[in-house]
């Protein structure tokens, strides 16, 4: 792919080419000779799948290129993303009021001795759709889920699930299915018998067990002992168990753990189809690419604290910046001042100026720069990919 | 509660589980009964010092000394159980009281292993997501385990009767007294006491499992306490130990008779009524504490 991509900007000199995916910044460089006349806007729509700022929910997000494709040199040279839009971007509840929400927490806190696992978490997850729950190891995802399932008592704060307080799990748990952390079953029982025990306990029909085993692809292994299952098969059984009650709200803690690529794919399709049926799926995962593909909303935690909640589109909208490189590096300082005067935060490094502004501001910046006598050698919008964005929010060091 | 009960039975009702637990209970019963009956014999004649002298006088001190001396040498101790005891009407249920503590330990292991397994397998979180009412879940499970243990006791009692009859007949004992209504009544009462005792042992195991959340720890501590702990306590505080759970349950199983197998012969066993009442109190306390802890404690594993 580098071939055509790299030549295209040259061939269409005078236009602004944008490759949509930020992981290929090298290929997206725009060379405009010396004129500095760029009209990004005119060309954006046909250039690549554009990213509308207010994307309607559940439009499949374009897949991103694997980060490995970005040479590390280029990656390091990338500007750091703009500051976060803030935690306050709460999507409007689908069916008015907190009572209708699938999940609503207020100041939910859990302390284990000195350590605060979850710290004043206030989130609102409206009903319907697939919601991602991300954060690095130890961020407090599982602890939050345990509190929502009535397994762990919050130290402070409160929460409702499907309109019922988590202090009374029996009022809502028959409408909730969950896979919490690793799947857990009786090792000496067959998969089928394990499910039957749970179906009996929950008062679900026995015929459901066979359906579910078939649904998760364990139909022919159902009569084998659970301890003989592979990791992915155990995970599938766990997913089957979470579906026993045909739940309105499905809480899945790292459901893709151990699944093969086909399994992950199936899982994504399955969860999305459930989401379209009006069910709410609250899914945690470390596979950010998966999260981006299957979720339309996100809740991001770091060290037990909420760092973002909102739609994927919102997060993406905050993920754009403009990169401008003056012909003469000495003019970078003036360019920064110019941008700041126009109300956009800007920073410079090694003669490259990063402006936190929507990509549509390219054209205006270009004419402002011209009027100020700054010739731009390079001008392009830059999109941070979501993974980078989330890593940035949750702290890269925690991931390492 | 019913769902929790039935669900537990789905888990228990595997052939291997049935065979292993019930097999162990019946097997131990056969072993103990068999040993008793096989080793039964006529009691040794009293030492010569205990017969009145020709002049009718009786040297009590010399007699006691002679008995003590006889008991020193194993060979002269005589049989474990005199034949006459086994030929009595309650001989038919003798094995039950002898094997009572052992079956109790099996029950303790059953309860403790099962409940602790829910923690160590991590299955408790799934169970609670299907049945969030924790006390309902626990009650159903305990009821299922109890019913499982009771079926084991019935099986063991059958084995005891068959063994007693077979070996008794083979050894030529006079078994005519066993056919009487009194003998059958003793047998049924013995089975009932044994069944209730397995519940008491089981709740002790269950409590330890809920507290320790580990099968090996709960089972080790439970058995250690019963076999060693109360024995040591008996040496130090013989008056107190008879009120301790193990002794109380033993006294209950013995049904008020001074069993020749009571654990610490130093302590006089409790009267049956007292033992029954105390056992009830213990069961309620074990269940109450286990329930309170189970209900409130975080499930974070
Ligand atoms: N039972 C517990 N006792 C003490 N600390 C705990 C307990 N459970 C969790 N923690 C602590 O709470 C914090 C959050 O843990 P949690 O399991 O919720 O993280 P997580 O987001 O699920 O992480 P991961 O991505 O690794 O699954 C961690 O620092 C962890 O050590
Ligand atoms: Mg976790």
Distances in Å between the alpha carbon of A94 and those of A97, A338, B8, B198, B282?
A: 9, 42, 40, 56, 54
Please check whether residue A3 lies inside any domain of the structure: no
Q: How far is A87 from chain B (nearest CA, A)?
A: 28
pLDDT tens sequence across A109-149: 999 999 999 999 999 999 999 999 999 999 999 999 999 99
User: For atom 3 of ligand 1, which residue has the closest CA?
Assistant: A112
pLDDT in tens, A3-62: 344 333 333 333 333 322 232 333 222 233 333 333 333 333 333 333 333 333 333 333
Asked whether the beta carbons of residue B126 and residue A185 sit closer than 8 angstroms, the reply is: yes
Half-sphere exposure of A18 (CA within 13 A, CB side): 30
Which residues, listed in sequence order, are joined to residue A323 by a DSSP beta bridge?
A354, A380
Chain A interface disruption, residue of B6, B123, B130, most A CBs within 10 A? B130
For CA atoms A334, A338, A341, A347, the dihedral sign is negative
Alpha-carbon gap, residue A198 to B11, rounded angstroms: 10
Q: Which atom of ligand 1 lies at the shortest distance from residue A286's CA?
A: 25
Q: Which residues in chain A touch residue B299, judged by CB atoms under 8 angstroms apart?
A: 146, 151-152
CB contact under 8 A, B123 and A185: yes
Q: Tokens for B43?
A: 């009691």
Query: For residues A61-91, b (16+ Cβ closer than 10 Å) or e, as one string?
Result: beebbeeeebeeeeeeebbebbeeeeeeeeb
Ligand 1: residues with CB < 6 A are A 112, 115, 117, 135, 137-143; B 300
DSSP label at residue B42: P
Q: What is the pLDDT of residue B118?
A: 95
Q: Is residue A394 part of a domain?
A: no
pLDDT of A205 higher than 80:
yes
What pLDDT, on the 0 to 100 scale, is given for residue B43? 66
Length, in residues, of chain A? 400
pLDDT tens string A320-329: 788 899 999 8
A243 and A355 share a domain?
Answer: no
Shared domain for A109 and A73, answered yes or no, is: no
**Which residues of chain A have a CB within 8 Å of the CB of B8?**
197
Cβ–Cβ under 8 Å, residues B195 and B153: yes
* DSSP category for residue A226: G
Backbone φ, ψ for residue A163 (5° rounding): 85, 0
What is the mean predicted confidence (pLDDT) over A167-190?
A: 93
User: What's the gap between Cα A392 and its chain centre?
Assistant: 12
Boundary of a domain, candidates A61, A77, A93: A77
Q: What letter would DSSP give residue A50?
A: -
Closest C-alpha to A362, from A12, A84, A30, A13: A30
Task: Please state the atom number of ligand 1 nearest to the C-alpha of residue A113.
Answer: 4
Residues A38, A329: Cα–Cα separation, whole Å = 19
Give yes or no: residues A308 and A347 share one domain. Answer: no
In a domain, A59, yes or no: yes
Q: Are residues A225 and A295 in the same domain?
A: yes
pLDDT at A75: 38
pLDDT at A55: 36
Q: Secondary structure of chain A: what % helix, strand, coil (to 5)?
A: 35, 20, 40
Has residue A83 been placed in a domain?
no
Helices B123-130 and B134-170 cross at an angle (nearest 10°) of 120
Partners of residue B7 in chain A, C-beta under 8 Å: 197-198, 200-201
Task: Tell how strand A376-383 and strand A164-165 pair up.
Answer: unpaired
Assess contact for A234 and A258: CB atoms under 8 A. yes
Q: Cα separation of B201 and B262, whole Å? A: 16
Residues A243 and A372 both lie in one domain: no
Q: How many CB atoms lie within 10 A of CB A361?
A: 21
pLDDT for A314 equals 81
- Domain final position from A314, A339, A357: A314
Give per-residue pLDDT as tens, A73-101: 333 344 444 444 444 444 443 444 445 79
Domain assignment present for A399: no
Which of B116, B71, B297 shows the shortest CA–CA distance to B212?
A: B116
- Do residues B101 and B200 make contact, with C-beta atoms less than 8 angstroms apart? no
pLDDT in tens, A212-241: 999 999 999 999 999 999 999 999 999 999
- CATH number of the domain residue A133 falls in: 3.40.50.300
- Of the candidates A93, A97, A99, the one whose C-alpha atom is nearest the C-alpha of residue A163 is A99
Are both A341 and A245 inside the same structural domain?
A: no
Q: Sheet containing A346-349: which strands, arranged edge to edge?
A: A346-349, A352-355, A320-326, A376-383
A114 in the same domain as A252: yes
Question: Residue A90: its pLDDT value, please?
Answer: 44
Which two three-digit tokens encode residue A315? 């997060």
**Beta strands per DSSP E along B120-229:** none
- Give the CB-side neighbour count of residue A249, counting CA atoms within 13 A: 25
Block residue for tokens 């012969």 = B265
Residue nearest to atom 6 of ligand 1 (CA): A112
pLDDT in tens, B269-290: 788 888 899 999 999 999 999 9
State the 10-residue block means of pLDDT for chain B, 301 residues long.
Answer: 91 84 90 84 68 72 75 60 78 83 92 94 94 95 95 93 88 81 87 93 96 94 90 84 88 73 54 90 96 93 76
| pLDDT given for residue B64 in this prediction | 77
> What ranges make up the beta strands (E) of A79-146?
103-112, 115-121, 124-125, 129-134
Domain that holds residue A331: 320-383
Strands (E), chain A: 103-112, 115-121, 124-125, 129-134, 156-161, 164-165, 176-179, 249-253, 280-284, 297-302, 305-311, 320-326, 346-349, 352-355, 376-383
Phi–psi pair at B56, nearest 5 degrees: 85, -5
Can you read off the two tokens belonging to residue B144?
């299922």
> Is A150's Cβ below 8 Å from some Cβ in B?
yes
Angle made by CA atoms A27, A28, A31, in degrees to the nearest 5: 100
Residue A396 placed within a domain: no
CA A112 to ligand 1 center in whole angstroms:
9
Across the strands, what pairs with A132? Answer: A283, A298
Answer yes or no: do A105 and A59 share one domain: no
Tell me: do A287 and A339 sit in the same domain: no
State the DSSP H helix or E strand holding residue A232, giving kind and residue range, or none if neither.
Answer: helix A231-242
Which position has the token pair 């029982």?
Answer: A189
A200 lies in some domain: yes
**Residues A68, A116 share a domain:** no
First to last CA, chain B: 24
Do residues A163 and A183 share a domain?
yes
Residues of B with CB under 8 A from a CB of A: 3-4, 6-8, 10-11, 14, 16-17, 117, 121-123, 125-133, 137, 296, 298-300
Residue B52 is given by DSSP the state P
Interval A254-311: pLDDT, tens: 998 888 898 899 889 989 999 999 999 999 998 888 888 889 899 999 999 998 899 8
If one counts every other C-beta atom within 10 angstroms of the C-beta of residue A27, the result is: 20
Residue B48: CB atoms within 10 Å: 9
Query: Do both A372 and A258 map to the same domain?
Result: no
Task: Using the atom order of ligand 1, give the atom closest to the CA of residue A146.
Answer: 18
* Number of independent structural domains in chain A: 3
Q: What is the pLDDT, as a whole number, of residue B117?
A: 94
pLDDT digits (tens, 9 = 90+) for B75-132: 555 567 777 778 777 788 888 888 888 899 999 999 999 999 999 999 999 999 999 9
Instruction: Give the residue from A13, A45, A3, A17 showing the smallest Cα distance to A382.
Output: A17
Q: Is residue A95 part of a domain?
A: no
For A378-395, how does the pLDDT look when each residue is reduced to its tens digit (9 = 90+)? 998 887 777 777 777 777
């Amino acid at each position: 792919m580098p071939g055509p991509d790299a030549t295209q900007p040259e061939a269409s000199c005078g236009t602004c080419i944008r490759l949509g995916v930020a992981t290929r910044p090298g290929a997206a460089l725009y060379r405009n000779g010396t004129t500095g006349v760029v009209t990004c806007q005119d060309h954006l729509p046909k250039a690549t799948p554009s990213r509308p700022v207010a994307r309607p929910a559940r439009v499949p997000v374009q897949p991103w290129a694997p980060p490995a494709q970005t040479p590390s040199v280029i990656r390091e040279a990338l500007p750091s993303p703009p500051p976060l839009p803030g935690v306050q971007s709460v999507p409007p509840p689908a069916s008015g009021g907190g009572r209708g929400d699938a999940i609503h927490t207020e100041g939910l806190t859990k302390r284990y001795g000195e350590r605060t696992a979850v710290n004043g978490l206030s989130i609102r997850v409206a009903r319907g759709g697939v919601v991602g729950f991300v954060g690095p190891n130890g961020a407090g995802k599982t602890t939050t889920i345990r509190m929502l399932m009535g397994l762990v008592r919050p130290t402070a704060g409160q929460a409702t699930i499907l309109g019922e307080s988590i202090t009374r799990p029996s009022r809502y748990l028959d409408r909730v299915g969950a896979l919490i952390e690793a799947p857990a079953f009786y090792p000496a029982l067959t998969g089928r018998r394990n499910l039957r025990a749970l179906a009996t306990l929950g008062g679900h029909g026995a015929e459901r067990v066979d359906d579910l085993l078939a649904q998760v692809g364990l139909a022919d292994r159902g009569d084998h002992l659970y301890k003989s299952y592979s990791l992915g098969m155990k995970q599938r059984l766990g997913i089957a168990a979470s579906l026993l009650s045909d739940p309105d709200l499905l809480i899945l803690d790292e459901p893709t753990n151990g699944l093969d690529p086909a399994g992950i794919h199936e899982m994504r399709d399955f969860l999305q189809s459930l989401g379209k049926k009006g069910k709410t799926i609250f899914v945690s995962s470390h596979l950010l690419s998966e999260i981006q593909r299957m979720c339309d909303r996100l809740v991001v935690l770091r060290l037990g604290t909420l760092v973002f909640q909102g739609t994927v589109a919102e997060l993406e909208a905050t993920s754009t910046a403009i990169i401008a490189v003056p012909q003469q590096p000495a003019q970078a300082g003036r360019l920064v001042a110019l941008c700041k005067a126009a109300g956009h935060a800007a920073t410079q490094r090694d003669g490259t100026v990063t402006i936190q502004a929507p990509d549509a501001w390219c054209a205006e910046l270009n004419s402002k720069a011209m009027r100020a006598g700054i010739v731009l050698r390079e001008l392009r919008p830059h999109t941070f990919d979501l993974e980078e964005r989330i890593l940035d929010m949750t702290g890269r060091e925690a991931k390492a | 509660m019913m769902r929790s009960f039935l669900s537990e039975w789905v888990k228990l009702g595997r052939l291997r589980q049935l065979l292993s637990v019930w097999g162990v209970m019946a097997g131990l019963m056969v072993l103990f009964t068999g040993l008793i009956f096989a080793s039964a014999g006529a009691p040794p004649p009293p030492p010569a010092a205990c017969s009145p002298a020709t002049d009718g006088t009786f040297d009590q001190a010399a007699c006691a000394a002679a008995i003590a001396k006889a008991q020193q040498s194993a060979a002269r101790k005589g049989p474990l159980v005199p034949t006459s005891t086994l030929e009595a009407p309650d001989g038919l249920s003798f094995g039950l009281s002898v094997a009572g503590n052992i079956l109790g330990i099996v029950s303790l292991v059953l309860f403790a292993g099962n409940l602790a397994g829910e923690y160590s397998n991590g299955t408790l979180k799934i169970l609670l997501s299907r049945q969030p009412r924790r006390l309902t879940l626990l009650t159903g499970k305990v009821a299922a385990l109890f019913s499982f243990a009771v079926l084991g006791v019935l099986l063991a009692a059958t084995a005891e009767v068959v063994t007693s009859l077979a070996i008794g007949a083979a050894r030529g004992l006079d078994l005519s007294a066993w056919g009487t209504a009194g003998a059958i009544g003793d047998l049924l009462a013995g089975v009932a006491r044994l069944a209730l005792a397995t519940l008491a042992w089981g709740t002790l195991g269950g409590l330890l499992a809920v507290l320790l959340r580990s099968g090996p720890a709960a089972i080790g501590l439970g058995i250690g306490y019963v076999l060693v702990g109360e024995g040591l306590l008996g040496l130090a505080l013989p008056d107190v130990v008879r009120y301790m759970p193990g002794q109380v349950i033993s006294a209950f199983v013995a049904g008020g008779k001074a069993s020749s197998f009571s654990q610490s012969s130093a302590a006089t066993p409790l009267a049956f009524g007292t033992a029954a009442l105390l056992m009830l109190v213990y069961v309620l306390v074990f269940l109450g504490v286990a329930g309170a802890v189970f209900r409130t404690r975080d499930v974070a594993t």
